Structures are given as structure tokens and as C-alpha cells.
Amino acid sequence: MSDNGISMKRPILSWHIVIAVVCGFVAVAIGAYRLHDWRYFLVGDEYGFYENAKAILREHFNRMPYWSGVHQMNFTAVSMYQALFLAIEQSFWMWRFSNVILFLPIAVLLHVWTSLWCSARVGALSALFLSFSFFLHNYFLIGYPNPLALLFFLIMQVSWSVWAKNERNGWFSPILLGVITGITFYVYLGTLIILSVAPYVLFKLYRSQRRTALLGSLVLAGLIAVGLIAPAVLRKDALDAMFRVSVGGAEFSDPFQRWINVRNSFRLFWWNIRDSHFITGPYVDPITLVCIGFGWAYIVLTRRSGELMIVTVYVLAATLVGVTSPYHYPPITRGILIVPFGFIFAAIGLDWVTKKMPGIIQGAVFAGVLPLVVCANALRTEDYYIQNTPAADVYFLKEAAAVVRSCDDPAIIRVKFVGQGRPQNNLSNLQFFLSVQNGKEVKLYGDGDAIPTSAPGKVCELSFDANPYIK
């Protein structure tokens, strides 16, 4: 192993990868168990992804992956992935499991990427931090396409890292890179992910003694990627979606706000300006944050090329997340691309602090720190509900479920609200939650809404007073 951190001779396929695989399986098991928790039905706009995946399955996948999809910000490709799981079992649990299962490849890919630039031990530790992250364990239970984006983010980092660190690459390498890059374009934030690999290109151009051949291979990879992307960019709806995900749709007019968002993107490990999507407070727990501090100290003191490459990609990714945010803050939906860097920095710090210690003391430190990390994250997974769950929605769903069970299928319910209080979710969202929870179609109508005369079955009545549950 070289001293500058750029050698390819890393024991990636050592026993350390077994740790990463085990961590991935443990994370999948925890996520699958927690999918049964009824509280996770209270997620605003995710029903659009569920309905789109069901429609794709009904149509026997008779759609093109490059079509504009849910909310005009996602390609149909991501819904086709979710529809594959509905083909196994048409249930809400299986649909969301399409995200939870990604814990396994993501943990392994993070280990491999970190091992390439740091060490296999740091790679294994980063997988440990990732697998018990409250951020990911909460966010992966939502039926959004962002976990798939994180998977492809790591696929891109690994594939381009391997290419950058090899002295010689045949013609197969640019072909494979072009295919991977072209496919990545179709996941959420695909454009940002593609831009994030620029440091590897500059790194290899700087080190290469055969720049002409290198440029030729890059052109080949680019042409293949462009060929795969072309069907989308030739469609106006797809171009509009790409624009909205990148720099369009801003809710502010001051251009300086983008640079404020960039600054705040670098603070997410210890300060998060906006709680949402089951994430409250900083992106990492206090124990992990302390380890991150040690990791940054190590990087500054040693200035090894491997760790500095990770820092370079981190700076670029955080900048892209901030610059492209359409809000007055870097949102959770984009910040998911920043989270893995926290695990890597924490692993670097913990490795640095312990590697000079005698074996028995190292074991004692790991036996103390890692359980604390697990406990701290376990507490954070429940923190959102204690503080933010809209109680009116919870009790409405409980009372409505009893009415749904006594109604025909489909269940047609006229809802009368007592007083001025209302659940936080609108009736469209609430009827979606009820349909999924109770396994049959539910139609909710307000007290003043006209129920179609063609509606089958009897009309059930529900009177609900939300006022006692509103804080």
C-alpha cells in the first residue's frame, strides 16, 4: 500500500467486506420489520409513486423509461423499478420494501468506494455507521425514488474510482462507464450525480502518461452516455423535468440565496434548517459527529491523496445540492447524497483514534462507541413522531378504519367535521392511506361534496372532531 493513498492494492475483498455485507443484511431486516409500523402511512405526496407503479404493472410495463413521471420531476424508469416489486406482491409493504432492500448494495458499495481511497478497515467502519443511521432508516421507509438515487450515486463513485486509479484501461472500461452514466441520468438527481464524478476525470488526466488515449476513451464513454440519454432530452416533458430537478422552479428571486443554500449544505451534519420526511435535527447523531470531527482533523494533518479525493467529491456534491435547491434551504430529498460522506469521515476519525491503541483497548473502544451510535440513532428514529406526528390525522385514520370495515367495497364515506379543526392531510391523501391500510378502495367526500349517483354501494357516515388533537 502506498503512502499517498492512491494505490489500487487494497484488500477490498477481505474479511472487512463480510462486515459490510452483514451490516447491510441487518439494516434490511430492521427496515423490513419497521415497515409494519402504521405511522409511516402519514407521508404527504408519496401516494403518487404508489399509484404510478400500480398503473405500470396494470399496463404490463408498456411505458418508456424516459417518459416524464411522477410530479413531472422523475422519469418513469424509477416507477418501473418499484413496479417490479409490486409484480411479486401487490402490497404497500412490498412497494416500500423496494427501498429497504437497497440497504444491502448501498452498504457494500460504500465499503468498496471507501476502501479504494482509504482502507478496507475504514470502509467496514463506514458501512457500520451507514447501516444504523436514523436518517436512512427513516427516509428509506418512504416510497420516494431518492434511495435509488443514492444507490446510483455510489455505483458512479465506485465505477469511476476504479477507472481513475487503474494505470491502463482497455476499451471495455469506457463502454461500461458510458452505459452506467447513461442509465444514471434516469434516476432522481441523475444530472447532479453525473457531475459529481468530475474530480476522478481531472485526477486521471493529471496522472496519466497517455492522455491522447485517455481522451479517446472519455469521448467513447461520453458518446455512449449521450446515446442513452438522447431519447429523454429529445422530449420536452423530460427536458422540463430535468430543468426542475436542477436549477428550475425556485421559490425565491434573490440569486444570492443559492449560495446561502450552499453554505447550509456544509452544515447539515450538525445543523438542519428544515425538519421533514421523518428527519428532525442534524443528519447524524452526536457520537458520529464527534468521530467526524476527528476524521476532519486527520485529513487536515495528513493531507493524504485518498482522503483528499473523498473531500473533493464531498465539496462538489454539497455545492451541487445547495446550488440546485429550489427552496430557502437544502432539502432532505437532495441532502441524501451528502449523508454517506458523514459516515466516511466518521470512520476515518474512529480508525485514526483507535489504530495506535493496543488490541484489547481498541476492542474496548469499539465495544463502547458503536453501541452508543446504535442507541443514539435508535432514539432518533422515534424522535420525529414524538414531536411532529399530527395527532388529528392519527385518530382520524383510526376512527375511519372502523367505518371502512363496516362499509361495502368500495367504501364510500361522507365525512362531517365537527368544529373548525381538520387533519393536516387533505381528504385525497387520507383516502389513499385508508385504501392501503384496509385493502379495499375508499372514497371520502366532504359534508358539502356531491356524491355521484353512479357510485356503487351504500354511503357510510363519519363524524369526526379534530379539535382535541390539534396542538
Task: For 191-204, write each residue's pLDDT tens digit.
Answer: 899 999 999 999 99
pLDDT at residue 167 in the model = 75
Instruction: Report d(CA 432, CA 447) in Å as an integer.
Output: 19
Percent residues over pLDDT 70 in the chain: 90
Q: What is the pLDDT of residue 270?
A: 94
> What are the grid coordinates assigned to 267, written together?
452544515
pLDDT in tens, 403-424: 998 888 888 999 998 887 788 7
Residue with cell 459490510: 20
In 10 A of CB 419, how many CB atoms? 11
> Taking the CB of residue 298, how many other CB atoms lie within 10 A of it?
18
Is residue 420 within 8 A of residue 466, CB to CB? The reply is: no
Report CA torsion sign: 90, 92, 97, 98.
Answer: positive
Taking residues 101-106, report their average pLDDT: 97
Residue 410 is classified by DSSP as: S
Question: Higher model confidence: residue 435 or residue 81?
Answer: 81
Name residue 276's beta-bridge partners: 279
Give the per-residue pLDDT at 358.
Answer: 76
Half-sphere exposure of 431 (CA within 13 A, CB side): 17
* pLDDT tens-digit map of 36-61: 765 556 566 777 888 889 899 999 89
pLDDT at 2: 43
Q: How many distinct helices (H) and strands (E) make up the chain?
A: 21, 3
Least confident of 26-35, 137-146, 230-239, 268-277: 230-239
Residue 384: is its pLDDT beyond 60?
no
Query: Which residue type, as a one-letter code, is found at position 430?
Result: L
* pLDDT exceeds cutoff 70 at 344: yes
- Residue 443 DSSP SS3: strand
The Cα 126–Cα 343 span in angstroms is: 5
φ, ψ of residue 462 in degrees (nearest 5): -140, 120
Measured in Å, how far apart are the chain's first and last C-alpha atoms? 59
Contact 64, 170 (CB under 8 A): no
CB 462 within 8 A of CB 396: no
| Nearest partner of 173 among 152, 183, 159, judged by Cα | 159
